[in-house]
Amino acid sequence: MLTRRALIGTTTVAATASVARPSAAWAATPRDVAIMAKQIDDITSLDPHESFEPSGNEIVWNCYQVLVTPDRADPAVLRGDLAESWQSAEDGLTYTFHLRPDARFASGSPVTAEDAAFSLQRAVMLDKAPASIISQFGFTRDNVAERIRVQDDRTLVLRLAERKAPSFLLYCLSAAVGGIVEKKAVLAHQQGNDLGNAWLRTNSAGSGDWVVRSWRPSESVTLDASPNAGSAIRRLLIRHVADPSAQLLLLRGGDADIARNLTADQLRSLGSVPSYTTSAQGRAMLMYVAMNQQHPELARPGVRQAIKWALDYEAIQRNIVPTTYRVHQAFLPQGFPAALNELPFHKDPARAKALLAEAGLAGGFEVTMDHQSAAPHSDIAQAVQADLGQVGIRVRLLAAEGRQVITKTRARQHQLALLTWGSDYFDPEANAGTFCVNTDNSPEARPHAGLALRLAGPGADRASGGKRVRTRCGATAGALWADAARAHGAQPVRDHAATD
């Protein structure tokens, strides 16, 4: 049964972090309704086969189930979610999944292999931003109906184009884009050939514990507990509250049960109150500065290196986000297989100026940087602006809602941008493919899962498997780390407070 305490774990599957609970306080709402204050202006869609942002995916993971999922206690272990068992053929190309007989959608209808096949086919057919997580196994619009097929009501068969590590396929199927939708419900809301996409952006048709009741961009998301969840909480209202101080006031005033974006000082103040408890957990996310190589100065490797040597990573972490982020300068988050925790860059203004001079820019240059207007992005952006200004790079900050920043960078209309990137599945390839592969850096290239890379420009060769990722995509502070058109800086550690 879902209680307010259990709600914390349930609503933060993708991004759990710090929790503070006043033991005697409840928001001024019915006991079967919970209110969460959170920055949710990054949401662009709640369709599992289109959503590609942290807040949207967090909701998707709670409204839909996937075939297999990492164990929460040990992500290196995969367990069945909708699939009770699976096996691969000796040829390494054919995978068979046997579905649980008791799985039900929120509508009460059973989850069938037909629903599972339709869902994976739909992800490929829609060809939205996360589609390549599935289509990279050789699935295309022309062959997906043949390669993803139903054997019987409870048996799904996938036929890959070439051999892949079984764990790689399974982890990709655990991503949000692997969410299984109810075929009948989705097609009942189809408009033209959109496969129900317009409807699913603001609704849901899954078998998870929650059902989307409404989404109002940059305002709120309302979730109702699924009839199958047996929940003591009937409704969860997620309010967009950009200012962490406003979140704290709502929490302390009893007008919110959960606050998700408190600052380090605010969390520390709650931790000193006996009626609150706090805990922390790492997140598979990264914050970095993306550099668009269409900008003439940013196209020069020496300039990109100079930016990395100009930033004071430790001071930003220590003064702005001391308990909510850790310094991390590699593309694989700490805790991932093959992750590198070395910190090759530190603030060295003299070195940064020398690199700029070598690039023919001794007098510096002007550039803009897009960033989310909410904390801590706004504070970190100002610190980056100050650090770069010390070496002659004059940055004009452009603050906007998260959704606007994402849309602009996907269209490659930015110069610099302060961004966050969340890993879609627990495999090194999740980030290695994104940050180290770029087969098309032309202005016309479409952003799929390689979004950050297409913003970044050419990178290293593709690598799969821990050791190859470590040696080919990030082993030293050499050419890749130095020349890459991004500066990785931090990894989130904790992010919310909640009532008991």
Query: DSSP string of 33-95?
Result: EEEEEE--TT-----TTT--SHHHHHHHHHH---SEEE-SS-TTSEEESSEEEEEE-TTSSEE
Q: How deeply is 29 buried, as exposed, middle or buried, from its count of CB atoms within 10 A (0-12, 13-18, 19+)?
A: middle
Of residues 397 and 285, more confidence is placed in 397
List strand residue ranges (DSSP E) for 125-249, in order.
148-152, 155-159, 210-216, 220-225, 235-240
To the question of domain 285-492 being in CATH 3.10.105.10, the answer is yes
- Express each pLDDT in 184-227 by its tens digit: 999 999 999 999 999 999 999 999 999 999 999 999 999 999 99
Query: Distance between CA atoms of 82 and 69, rounded to whole angstroms?
Result: 9
* pLDDT at residue 19, as a whole number: 38
Please give the Cα distance from 104 to 82 (Å, whole number).
10
Q: Which two tokens stand for residue 261?
A: 């974006």
Interior CA angle at 332 toward 326 and 336, to 5°?
Answer: 90
For 105, 122, 421, the CA distances from 284, given in Å and listed in that order, are 29, 27, 9
- Helix/strand/coil percent split, the chain, to 5: 30, 20, 50
Q: Which residues does 104 contact at the CB level (< 8 Å), separation at least 6?
A: 110, 111, 207, 228
* Chain center to CA of 98: 29
Single-letter code of the amino acid located at 120: L
DSSP string, 256-272: -SEE----HHHHHHHHT
* Beta-ladder partners of 95: 88, 158
CATH 3.90.76.10 fits 44-216, yes or no: yes
pLDDT in tens, 22-41: 444 445 568 899 999 999 99
What pLDDT does residue 218 have?
A: 93
Lowest average pLDDT, out of 134-143, 409-418, 449-458, 488-497, goes to 449-458
In tens, the pLDDT along 360-392 reads 999 999 999 999 998 899 999 999 999 999 999
Cis-peptide into 376, omega within 30 deg: yes
Backbone angles phi, psi at 422, to 5 degrees: -105, 135
Q: How far apart are CA 31 and CA 2, in angstroms?
A: 12
Least confident of 74-78, 147-151, 216-220, 480-484: 480-484
Round to whole Å and give the CA distance between 34 and 258. 8
Q: In the chain, where are the structural domains located?
A: 44-216, 285-492
3 state DSSP class of 212: strand
Statement: residue 325 has pLDDT above 80: yes
Q: Could you give the CA distance from residue 304 to residue 249 in angstroms, rounded to a whole number?
A: 41
How crowded is the C-beta side of 447, counted as CA atoms within 13 Å? 18
Sorted by sequence, the CB contacts under 8 Å of residue 28 that are 6+ apart come out as 254, 255
Comparing CA positions, the residue from 456, 497, 419 lying closest to residue 25 is 497
The span from the CA of 380 to the CA of 312, in Å, is: 11
Beta bridge partners of 397: 369
Q: Using alpha carbons, select from 489, 471, 467 the residue that is nearest to residue 480.
A: 471
Q: What pLDDT is stored for residue 278 in this prediction?
A: 64
pLDDT band at 52; cut points 50, 70, 90: very high
pLDDT tens-digit map of 123-136? 999 999 999 999 99
CA-to-CA distance for 293 and 332, rounded, in angstroms? 22
Let me know the angle formed at the C-alpha of 19 by 13 and 22, rounded to the nearest 5 degrees. Answer: 135
> Exposed, middle or buried by CB within 10 Å (0-12, 13-18, 19+), for 61?
buried
| The pLDDT of residue 469 | 30
pLDDT bracket for residue 494 (50, 70, 90): low
